[in-house]
């Protein structure tokens, strides 16, 4: 069995020339390593120790988070002929508790980044590399209302580098029951201005751009052309069809959400990048329902917390798409019934005859969406 020494003994040995190796994974080391350590994941060290240890007679100290992995690694190295290998008892936790300093990996001195996103950095699926990817990403949220509010809040909190919010409306007191980006003091203020103030206060690292425009065929491509992901927080069918068509045409993943009374839906339409493999909104709804069959929130009402649930799910899907992790809702429609507190899922297939996204179909151009949805 390999030997263990205390952090204090390890510190003395390091001064005498011992090599300290942190065998934790990269995302763990991003949060700080014992001063003087080099970082090599345990599996990598065990596979090719000669790449990191000058010789088998080198005095080597191994440290991990709490001492378990470093002990196992020390035993494995001993079996490979490295006899002067010792594990640091209690790992980085005890090292820090006893007052010995931690350092960031080379070139990483952004304390705000590490403090603000520390819980993401602990996730191997994200880590510093994934968090930097989020910071480099751009998301456009159409609508700063019931769905856009929670979606934008969580995207900003997660550290998406650039958020563009598009909405031409102003804050009304009737919005406040569900549109959590805004406060009573914002009544009469453009929603994008209120949103920009709130989101910048939450995370000043995020670039917030508010566009006080109504989405139209003339401006849609300009507004979403540089987006990595588009989030549909609109509340009417003309916007949904227009946004879907533009995202298919430009090859942008579209995170769809909709609410009605006590029920909501979420999906990802990614037909622009996955022709013939993923559906678009028109595959699900080739034609809009008649206006009397789909009244809006101002006409029939909506449970205030419902857009929060759906908008949160939209933010989750957007983050997964940006990080390339998990299984997106492409090809699946998630339905939520708040009264029954029940989710159900419907599988969606691309329509091989879809006039918009079928493979080989040229883009038909934009139409008069208001007239199309009016029947």
**CATH value at residue 78:** 3.40.250.10
Looking at the structure, do residues 364 and 296 belong to the same domain, yes or no? yes
* Assigned domain for 114 exists: no
Same domain assignment for residues 131 and 93: no
264-286 pLDDT, tens digit per residue, is 999 999 999 999 999 999 999 99
CA–CA separation, 72 and 76 (whole Å): 6
Quote the pLDDT of residue 247: 98
> Is 358 inside any structural domain?
yes
What's the rounded Cα separation, in Å, for the pair 240 and 267? Answer: 13
Catalogue the long-range contacts made by 115-122 (C-beta closer than 8 Å, 24 or more residues apart).
Answer: 116/159, 116/203, 116/205, 117/159, 118/31, 120/158, 120/159, 121/27, 121/30, 121/31, 122/27, 122/28, 122/31
User: 144 and 284 share a domain?
Assistant: yes
Indicate if 94 and 153 belong to the same structural domain: no
Judge whether 97 lies within some domain: yes
Inter-residue contact 143 to 168 (CB < 8 Å): no
Q: What is the pTM of this model?
A: 0.82
2-to-14, 23, 58, 65, 73 alpha-carbon distances in Å: 18, 15, 15, 17, 9
For all residues of the chain together, what is the average pLDDT?
Answer: 93
49, 82 contact by CB (below 8 A): yes
CA 318/CA 321 separation, integer angstroms: 5
Residues 139 and 89 in one domain: no
Q: Which of 109, 135, 163 is the last residue of a domain?
A: 109
User: Is 310 inside any structural domain?
Assistant: yes
Can you give the residue range of the structural domain that contains 177?
127-373
Q: What is the pLDDT of residues 100-139, one digit of tens each?
A: 999 876 555 688 898 899 999 989 899 989 999 999 999 9
**Final residue of a structural domain among 49, 81, 109:** 109
List, for residues 129-178, the tens digit of each pLDDT value.
999 999 999 999 999 999 999 999 999 999 999 999 999 999 999 999 99
pLDDT at position 293 over 60: no
Residue ending a domain, choose from 79, 109, 139: 109
Q: The domain spanning residue 211 has which CATH number?
A: 3.40.50.720
Q: Are residues 138 and 96 in the same domain?
A: no
pLDDT of the residue at 8: 95
CA angle 28, 34, 39 (to 5 degrees): 55
Q: Is the domain of 212 the same as that of 132?
A: yes
* Residue 18 to residue 330: CA distance in whole angstroms: 53
| Same domain (yes/no): 149, 20 | no
**Same-domain check for residues 210 and 145:** yes
Q: Is residue 117 part of a domain?
A: no
- Burial zone of 368 (CB within 10 Å; 0-12 exposed, 13-18 middle, 19+ buried): exposed
Give, rounded to a whole angstrom, the gap between the first and last alpha carbons of the chain: 78
Q: Are strands 207-211 and 263-269 parallel, antiparallel or unpaired?
A: unpaired
Note the pLDDT tens digit of each residue in 311-322: 999 999 999 999
Classify residue 122: in a domain, yes or no.
no
- Give yes or no: residues 149 and 39 share one domain: no
Q: Which of 260, 255, 195 is nearest to 224 (CA)?
A: 255
Distance CA 272, CA 207 (A): 27
Percentage of the chain with pLDDT > 70?
96
What whole-number distance in Å separates Cα of residue 158 and Cα of residue 134? 8
**Contact indicator for 347, 329 with CB cutoff of 8 Å:** no
Q: What's the token pair of residue 210?
A: 């508010």
Over residues 34-92, the pLDDT tens digits come to 999 999 999 999 999 999 999 999 999 999 999 999 999 999 999 999 989 999 999 99
Q: If you compute the radius of gyration of the chain from its CA atoms, what whole number of angstroms results?
A: 26
Report the number of distinct structural domains present in the chain. Answer: 2
CA separation for the pair 28, 124 (Å, rounded): 8
- 111/93: higher pLDDT: 93
CA 10 centroid distance within chain: 39
Query: Are residues 189 and 337 located together in one domain of the fold?
Result: yes
CB 80 within 8 A of CB 53: no
196 domain residue, yes or no: yes
Single out the residue of 144, 257, 150 nearest to residue 209, CA to CA: 144
In a domain, 181, yes or no: yes
Same domain, 281 and 156: yes
């Amino acid at each position: 069995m390999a030997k263990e020494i205390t952090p204090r003994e390890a510190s003395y040995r390091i001064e005498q020339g011992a090599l300290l190796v942190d065998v934790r994974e990269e995302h763990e080391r991003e949060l700080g390593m014992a001063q003087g350590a080099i970082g090599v994941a345990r599996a990598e060290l065990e596979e090719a120790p000669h790449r990191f240890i000058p010789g088998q007679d080198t005095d080597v100290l191994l440290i991990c988070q709490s001492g378990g992995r470093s002990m196992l690694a020390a035993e494995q190295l001993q079996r490979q002929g490295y006899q002067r290998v010792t594990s640091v008892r209690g790992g980085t936790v005890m090292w820090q508790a006893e007052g010995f300093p931690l350092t960031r990996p080379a070139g990483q001195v952004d304390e705000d980044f590490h403090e603000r996103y520390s819980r993401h950095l602990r996730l191997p699926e994200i880590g510093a590399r994934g968090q930097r990817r989020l910071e480099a990403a751009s998301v456009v949220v159409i609508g700063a209302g019931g769905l856009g509010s929670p979606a934008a809040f969580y995207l900003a909190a997660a550290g998406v580098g650039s958020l563009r919010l598009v909405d031409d409306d102003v804050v009304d007191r009737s919005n406040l029951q569900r549109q959590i980006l805004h406060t009573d003091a914002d009544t009469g203020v453009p929603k994008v201005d209120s949103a920009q103030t709130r989101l910048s206060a939450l995370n000043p690292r995020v670039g917030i751009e508010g566009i006080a425009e109504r989405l139209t065929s003339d401006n849609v491509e300009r507004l979403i052309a540089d987006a990595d992901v588009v989030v549909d927080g609109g509340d009417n069918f003309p916007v949904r069809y227009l946004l879907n068509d533009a995202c298919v045409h430009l090859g942008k993943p579209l995170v769809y959400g909709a609410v009605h009374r006590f029920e909501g839906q979420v999906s990802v339409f990614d037909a622009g990048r996955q022709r013939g493999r993923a559906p678009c909104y028109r595959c699900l709804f080739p034609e809009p329902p008649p206006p009397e069959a789909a009244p809006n929130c101002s006409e029939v009402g909506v449970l205030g917390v419902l857009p929060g649930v759906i908008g949160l799910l939209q933010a989750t899907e957007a983050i997964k798409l940006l990080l390339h992790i998990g299984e997106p809702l492409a090809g699946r429609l998630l339905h939520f019934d708040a009264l029954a507190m029940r989710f159900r899922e419907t599988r969606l297939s691309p329509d091989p005859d879809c006039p918009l996204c079928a493979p080989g179909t040229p883009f038909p151009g934009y139409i008069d969406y208001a007239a199309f949805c009016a029947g």
